[in-house]
Chains A and B, each alone.
Chain A
Amino acid sequence: MSKHENERKRTFLLITIPILALFICFNTIPLIRGAMYSFTNSRGFGSHDWVGLRNYIDLFSDARVGKSYLFTIKLAIVTTVVVNVLSLILALGLNSKIRAKGFFRGAYFLPNILGALVVGYIFNYFFTYIVPALADMTGMQGLSSSILSSPSKAWIGVMIVCAWQAIAMNTIIYISGLQTVPEDVYEAGGLDGATGWKQFKHLTFPLIIPFFSINMVLCVKNFLMVFDQIIALTKGGPAQSTESISYLIYNNGMSGGQFGFQSANAVVFFIVIVVISVAQMKFSSSKEEQL
């Protein structure tokens, strides 16, 4: 047994070391190199000066940065809830015994593949022309002008598009989770009279909790880092109300000349997401153990 244990340990170590090295080489080292820029006034090219902690001090007094954090966090929370509820329902539906299952699964996957340009154009059109026209017909005053032109409502448009695109991927993960639920669990449950909501709550859901927590983490991460949908839909407007953190980092740091400052922003942002996600994972793994 101990010989086996040793062999097992050695194999695991020999697997881990090269892969970890690869990861460190192309993720950790560039991250550290990038973080160095956060102590400079670099524009991304040319010479630069060391400015100490100036960028970090500025960061906490920059209203625009603060606003972008508020917007991004609000968007991430709401979208995560919406996406997980809808994609769990969708996964259960697509996993049930229905006709044309393959067709539905294919169709519901489509939003994920349409390029950002197409999605941006169609939803811009939808919000700018179609929704107001429908609202006029049905007499709904609140929607008679484009929600994308209103600083207080534009985030809802962004949320809808993010959810629309993300549901497919989360559904796939839920479906593959549902495959690990053995048939006999249902059979046993069926005998106990557990059907519908009860069956889901007591039998199915506990078994797919690992997938639920993966989806939660991925969602929170994806929506905190939202970028493509912002570019496609609002480019940060109107009145800078939909500037996400990633948008600011890219737009001002890469395209603009604020490379050093936005590097500091990226470092802080990285720490924030890691803290949120690790807390999330700790929380859900403690839940898993309970069950």
Chain B
Amino acid sequence: MKRKGLRSLLPAVCLTALASAAWGCGDASDGKIEVEIVQYKPEAANYFKTVEEAFNASHDNIHLTISSPNDAMAILKTRFIREDYPDIIGIGGDINYSYFVDADILADISDYEGMQDVNEGYLDIAEALELVPVDGTYILPYAANAAGVLYNREMFEEHGWQIPETWEELTALCDEIAAEGILPFYFGFKDTWTCLAPWNAMAVELAPADTTKQVNKGQTTFTDEYSELAEKYMALLPYGPDDPFAYNYNDACTAFARGESAMYPIGSYAAPQILSVNPDLKIDSFVMPASDEKEGRTLNSGIDLGFCVTKDCKNKEAAYEVLNFLYEDDTLQKYIDAQTSVPCKKGNFELSSLLDGMTEFIESGNMTDYQDHYYPSEMSVDALLQTFLIEQDQDAFLRNFDTSWQRYNRDIIRMVQEYEAAHGSAE
């Protein structure tokens, strides 16, 4: 009877036995130093595969592995919690970077010599992302993207339309386009994140770059800083399709690619998707004009991909060796070509013709980061914007923005104010 009872344990025993058998594999290094990169842009997976191969072919002492998983943020967070840190992570310059710096996961890489070649504009942007000022540099900005307005170049040439430089010129142009029976803008607001594109692009001219920081310090409110922005955003809506909330990003890309609208206010990152539908389309871009003055204009651009070395990385020199390889002009140029993005490195790079309208700003380093890089994702500002655009209630939107901000950022605000109390008087 005992024996029979024991047999019920059999499955459990089997499980344990199998478990120990499955464990214990995964050590493939043959004396080489292993360096692992996890980067968050799955669309660049092919590029990174070639980088990996080229690196391993030319290095005998280091073996590089690059993975480009989808939902990399979930994977990174999971790995952090089990204290299994990749050596290098490739992430964007957004709120997650701020959190990682704050969580003390990243190593200071200001001693990396390649830092000298970085376009200062992007180093400033990276520094501004720190929740409270921290000594050191934690990210090597690699590539940037820019948001503005994409336009159908052939359509513009055909009708002789001029690139607008002020808000007035923009609305005048839209009226002109509409008068010809063409839709000026396409929007894909069903995907809430696309609501942020025009918002960010106009915000760089209408709101201070450090609005969120000022709010955290208690110096201003969003109601004060964003009201012109919100008003102008609402004014754009009539120039788009009838029910912009019915269409998603993909619909909007397809529609623009098929010539259903003259312009599409979105970032340069949309180009590959648009061109996949219509490879012959000639797209160019211009900086979104939002203010009435031609002076003081700036391009909306932020770090799309940067590399951070984790504190846990065993061999920093090997990691720097990998960074050197990634930061070579040739390697970077290939990335830019593949992703139609902007290099964060100084030097002569060939930019996609898509960015012609923005080159002047890029070369002079005249750029301002996306506002939304400071928004905590759980606050879902994109969804708040969508709600605002549907309901058209500006006061309610801004009020909600202010109260939500206080709620979602409570711990950060406390941290900032503690920091101010400790350092503010000293400076």
Contacts and interface: CB of A to CB of B under 8 A. Distances in A.
Question: Are A and B direct contacts in the complex by CB distance below 8 Å?
Answer: yes
A257 B95 contact: yes
Interface residues of B, number: 45
A239 B190 contact: no
B378 A258 contact: yes
B402 to A, nearest CB: 15
A10 interface: yes
A286 to B, nearest CB: 32
Contacts of B247: 128
B127 interface: no
Interface in B244-291: 245-248, 251
Given A254-B74, A258-B408, A148 B383 contact: no
**Interface core residue of A7, A234, A257 (most chain B CB under 10 Å):** A257
Contacts of B159: none
A44 B192 contact: no
Given A149-B190, A251-B378, A258-B378, A238 B77 contact: no
B105 interface: yes
A14 B5 contact: yes
Contact of B8 (A11, A47, A132, A252): A11
Nearest to B245: A149
Contacts of B134: none
A164 to B, nearest CB: 20
B251 A256 contact: no
A14 B190 contact: no
Contacts of A124: 190, 248
A176 interface: no
Given A235-B192, A254-B77, A257-B377, A146 B104 contact: no
A238 B99 contact: no
B411 A18 contact: no
A152 to B, nearest CB: 11
Contacts of B102: 46
A15 B73 CA distance: 41
A46 B98 CA distance: 12
A86 B248 CA distance: 31
A236 B383 contact: yes
Nearest to B376: A257
A239 B391 contact: yes
Interface in A252-276: 252-258
B99 to A, nearest CB: 6
A44 B81 contact: yes
Interface string A20-44: 0110000000000000000001011
Given A235-B191, A237-B190, A47 B103 contact: yes
Given A41-B411, A146-B246, A239 B383 contact: yes
Q: Which of B11, B73, B100, B243 has the most CB of A within 10 A?
A: B243
B105 A146 contact: no
B390 interface: yes
Contacts, number: 112
A43 B103 contact: yes
Given A43-B99, A45-B103, A255-B377, A238 B190 contact: yes
Contacts of A237: 190, 192, 245, 383, 386
Contact of A18 (B9, B80, B379): B9
A46 B8 contact: no
A129 B394 CA distance: 30
A14 B81 CA distance: 36
A58 B102 CA distance: 24
Contacts of B18: none
B387 interface: yes
A148 B192 CA distance: 13
B246 A240 contact: no
A45 B77 contact: yes
Contact of B12 (A22, A128, A234): A22
Contact of A256 (B248, B378, B386): B378
A149 B246 contact: yes
Contacts of A239: 383, 386-387, 390-391
A111 B323 CA distance: 47
A149 B95 CA distance: 29
B50 interface: no
A254 B8 CA distance: 38
Contacts of B366: none
A128 B252 CA distance: 12
B380 interface: yes
Contacts of A45: 77, 80-81, 99, 103, 105
Contact of A148 (B15, B190, B376): B190
A139 interface: no
Contacts of A21: 12
A151 interface: yes
Interface in B171-220: 190-192
Contacts of A254: 74, 77
Contacts of B378: 251-253, 255-258
Which of A45, A49, A124, A235 is the most central at the interface, judged by chain B CB atoms within 10 Å of its CB? A45
Contact of A15 (B8, B77, B81): B8
Interface in A220-257: 234-240, 251-257
A9 to B, nearest CB: 11
29 contacts: A11-B5, A14-B6, A14-B9, A21-B12, A22-B15, A43-B103, A45-B105, A46-B80, A46-B99, A46-B100, A46-B104, A128-B246, A128-B251, A145-B243, A146-B245, A148-B190, A148-B246, A235-B191, A236-B380, A236-B383, A238-B190, A238-B390, A239-B387, A239-B390, A240-B380, A251-B380, A254-B74, A254-B77, A255-B377
Interface of A: 7, 10-11, 14-15, 18-19, 21-22, 41, 43-47, 49, 58, 62, 124, 128, 132, 145-146, 148-149, 151, 234-240, 251-258
Given A238-B190, A255-B378, A257-B99, 8 more contacts: A44-B77, A46-B80, A146-B243, A146-B246, A149-B243, A235-B191, A238-B390, A240-B386
